[in-house]
Structure 1
């Protein structure tokens, strides 16, 4: 927002915010486009009372993690479960290909822009693993589409986290690990330690399912980055430079995977190196044209 205001109260939300249309629906909340003092905003309402714990967990995470990595909280009401956040018209990060392929954004459909989006994604995960609220894990990430839907693409082409309803706490010093829900998970996208370890020998039981830690987020990084890089000129060069790091992210044993700090540092080093190389090539080409 252009100006600073205190978070809006229940009374202010009820009196000053006008709901315009439904723009999203999930198990936990309904999401509406709304208007506040001439500004488009996003209003989220609890969809079903049985998910109130998830809704209020998401609110506490939004309040505690406010930063450049997270969507801006504008107000909330606990009595009539409502959350007001800044509106971003491009929607979720899942839309990145359709957005960048539009003619008005075609100049930005480059490996540089796409790689920078991936860099912002891993920076958020590093922030999450070292947050003011402790080591948090992005649990709403059982497939690529679901993972991408947890983030927004801003109009100036940045990545911010938006859906924080499932961020359980890892506390190694207290021996606290996590599990992402109580249902059996399947597929190659989730980390191996999130899969039922007993095969067909035993029927799935949440009580017998071993817990895990934040390294599940690291397993998923190569798949998300591969999607964000797309199929533009230069994207395969980026993939080549990240190959060994991504191999490490996909190690079956979580303790052998790199930390998010290692991931961020490598991404930043590769990004800076490739940008510098690209600029040198551009200068060389310009010199040849002048000759």
Structure 2
């Protein structure tokens, strides 16, 4: 509750409030309103009732502006990640570049891209930090011809799915099985807490930033489930660590999906379903339909008898990923409270009863907006 009053001698406006609340002082705002509306300052301030009304209106207006600003941060930050959106197909433009450039081909990669050091290695590829025309890039090289099919699948997905949600493709060379992509110095999501622990990034370690990262994650799932290349399932997600390794943390604290080597297509209407690998999956992280259904009966696993499934396996994993992304920050418990119901729906044993990624994203955005609004002081004022 707020009380506005005037001091008889100087016309000073005093704001008295029951609970601590960061508010814009109403006198400067009042003076601005008086000037804009052409009111007489002395007559207005000398009368108690108009001052109370105008003061409350000014406070509501100032906090509304705070809310609108904070609520726009997410949209503004999205634009920072999307520097290549204006490029025509098969072109790229990184943040410090003025113009879009065609994807680099073999001759350019061999002559202009200089590898600096090895920064990652998996079964399918080795990843090097490299430099191209003073731009830092990542070069992925095939590790073994045994995984050539996976490597080529990942490249085809990178080509087909270029968008703000996917790491930017800079070029590729099929002759020596190399792919060049934009480099993100923070690395994968596995590094999230390490990055936030650094002094220069501690100010970003808030529930707002972390919830926006969760929104990015769900937005990426929504894009993959409705992509130009059909409905895709993230099959390299059989554990929390493996799933986190598929995403990169951008310099402005957003997410892009990076590893698309295991992204099969599903289409339930045509009976097109998938199995993520040919080995038995175990644990609570994977969806129930990904578990061997005859284990309790003592029947040994058989890939031929293992039922197939669809993209709702990705939905099952959303609460676990968001729990990690939120970490332990002030306000995080309240976020989990607001997301409890939608997360319960994500964990339905029957995949048909789970929400779509878009349904989840709508709830996340609603929670984000309402919490930003509340933090701007609307409830305390009203």
| TM-score relative to the length of structure 1 | 0.96
Name 2:325's counterpart in structure 1: 228
Give the whole-Å Cα distance in 2 for the aligned partners of 1:212 and 1:172: 9
Q: CA deviation at 1:201?
A: 2.5
Unaligned runs of at least 5 residues, structure 2:
1-93
Q: Counterpart in 2 of 1:192?
A: 288
Deviation for aligned residue 1:281: 5.8
Partner of 1:289: none
Give unmatched runs, 5+ long, in structure 1: 285-291
CA drift at 1:33: 0.5
Structure 2 counterparts to residues 17-96 of structure 1, below 5 A: 17-96=113-192
Q: How does 1:101-250 map to 2 (within 5 A)?
A: 101-199=197-295, 200-250=297-347
1:137-181 Cα shifts (integer Å, max 9, x gaps): 001001111100000001110111000000000012221000101
Q: Secondary structure at the match of 2:179?
A: strand
Higher radius of gyration, 1 or 2? 2
Q: How far, CA to CA, are the matches of 1:168 and 1:230 in structure 2?
A: 31
SS in 1 for 2:315: helix
Task: Tell me the number of residue pairs that the alignment of Structure 1 and Structure 2 aligns.
Answer: 284
Q: Distance in 1 between matches of 2:179 and 2:107?
A: 13
Displacement of 1:102 in angstroms is 1.4
RMSD: 1.2
Work out the CA distance in 2 between the residues paired with 1:113 and 1:16. 37
Task: Give 1:110 deviation, angstroms.
Answer: 0.4
Task: Show CA shifts across 1:17-76 (max 9, x none).
Answer: 111111000000000011111111100000000100000000000000000001000000
- Taking the aligned partners of 1:228 and 1:179, their CA distance within structure 2 comes to 27
How far apart, in 2, do the equivalents of 1:38 and 1:133 lie? 33
The runs of at least 4 consecutive aligned structure 1 residues that moved more than 3 Å come to 281-284
TM-score (norm 2): 0.73
Q: Which residue of 1 aligns with 2:374?
A: 277
Q: What CA distance in whole angstroms lies between the structure 2 residues aligned with 1:100 and 1:78?
A: 38
Distance in 2, Cα, partners of 1:143 & 1:189: 6
Residue matched to 1:16: 112
1:264 aligns with 2:361: yes
3-state SS of 1:30 partner: strand
